[in-house]
Each structure stands twice: as structure tokens, then as C-alpha cells.
Amino acid sequence: MNPIHGVRVMLADDEPHILQFLELGLINEGYEVKTAENGSAALDLARGFRPHVAVLDVMMPEMSGFEVCQSLKETEDNIAVIMLTAKDDVDDRVKGLKLGADDYVVKPFSFNELLARIEARLRNQFPDLLGEVVHGPFQVDDRRKEIRYQGQVLELSPTEYELLKFLVLNHGIVLSKSRILDRVWGYDFGGEDNIVEVYIRSLREKLKDKEHRVIRTLRGVGYRLDLL
């Protein structure tokens, strides 16, 4: 996406090499970034820094990421919290969501995946901070709820819009059906998971993606959107 000025991201992790890697990457993207190496330091930092997004490791000394998340959600206005967890544990995920976390990323992860998650949270919670997001032939305008592909506005239902936006913002990343259901339909969705296939088929028709080169199916794994 285009460089962003004035968007503040706080990183909290007790592994210095991870902090340095993420800090440099986000600064290069135009974010204002500050870091903390434990939970208590993260809370102290947040009071003065007032981040729009907090990226918190679950396992930190002094205070866990869960405790920091809960405190931030109680004291900060409209902060977006992304949890980093070392294992894809459903209990950890549910606990984080109940404490107010907005998203989670499982270690190890790619920088592009975290960047996409941050962009998604900003568009959902701070849309006025961002202009139009451009990824290859896709232009996503969340204020208009509009996506253009190769310069043409796509006629999308609200659910098609949310699904395609999720795929575009996570381009190059394989997304399982369960993750798509959680993000687009909600983690408490009780319907059949073949609804994802139905909507993917509809998007392919609107993108004229007959050969499935834009939205690829990885059998038994999920879907990946590629920028051509």
C-alpha cells in the first residue's frame, strides 16, 4: 500500500530479533513504530504513544499478551489488537477474542501476512486514516465499499465485497476455508463450509477468472489470490 503517515503501531514481544525485524519493516511501509519487550513496558508505552494498532505476543514476561490486551481495551479508545501466538491453539484464540483481541497471527508468520492483518484492522476501525489501497490490478476503497479490478468497478454483494477484500489484502497467502469463514462470516457461523466455494465461484465469474489464475485452489489446504 502507499506510505502511511501518522498511523501508530506498537509492537510487544520478548524476542528482540523479532521486534527489530518487524519494526524496520513497518517503518519502511511508512508507519510510526515503537516497541516494548514485556507486558508492563507495553502498557506504559501505550499511555503516551496512543497506538492505533497494538501487536502483542501472547507469552511475555511480567504481563501476558492477554493481560495487556484486556487492559488496553478497557483504557484506550478504539485500539486494534493483534495477538501473536506460537501455536494454533483454539483455546488461546477464543480467550483472546473474549478479551477483545481483533485478530491473531500464528508464529512463524511472514511479514506480508502481518502487514495485511494490520491494514485490514485499520480499514475496519480507522478508515479515515487510510486512502485507497492498491494491490496490483485491485483497488480497494473501503469508504465506498467498492473494489475495482483492472480499472473496472466490480458489482459485488456485501459478502462478496468482504470476501474479495480479505483475499486481496492477504494476497499471496494461502487461506483455509475455516479462516475465511471466521473472518468473513464470523467465528460463530453455523452454516456449511461449502458456502465459501459458492462465493469463490461467483467471484471468479466476475473477475473472468475461468482458468483460476487469480483465485487459486490448493486442494485440501484453501485458496490464494495472486496478483497478475
DSSP string, 82-120: EEEESS--HHHHHHHHHTT--EEEESS--HHHHHHHHHH
List pLDDT tens digits, range 122-153. 878 887 676 677 888 999 887 788 999 999 99
Q: What is the mean pLDDT of the chain?
A: 87
Residue type, 68: V
Q: What is the mean pLDDT of residues 76-94?
A: 79
Contact 83, 103 (CB under 8 A): yes
Quick one: pLDDT band at residue 93, thresholds 50, 70, 90?
low
Q: What is the mean pLDDT of residues 29-53?
A: 93
List pLDDT tens digits, range 52-62. 999 999 989 99
68 phi and psi angles, rounded to 5 deg: -65, -45
Q: What is the pLDDT of residue 130?
A: 66
Of 110 and 216, the structure prediction assigns the larger pLDDT to: 216
**Radius of gyration of the chain measured on its C-alpha atoms:** 18
The one-character DSSP state at 175 is B
Q: What is the pLDDT of residue 3?
A: 42
Q: What is the pLDDT of residue 160?
A: 96
Is the pLDDT at 79 greater than 90? The verdict is yes
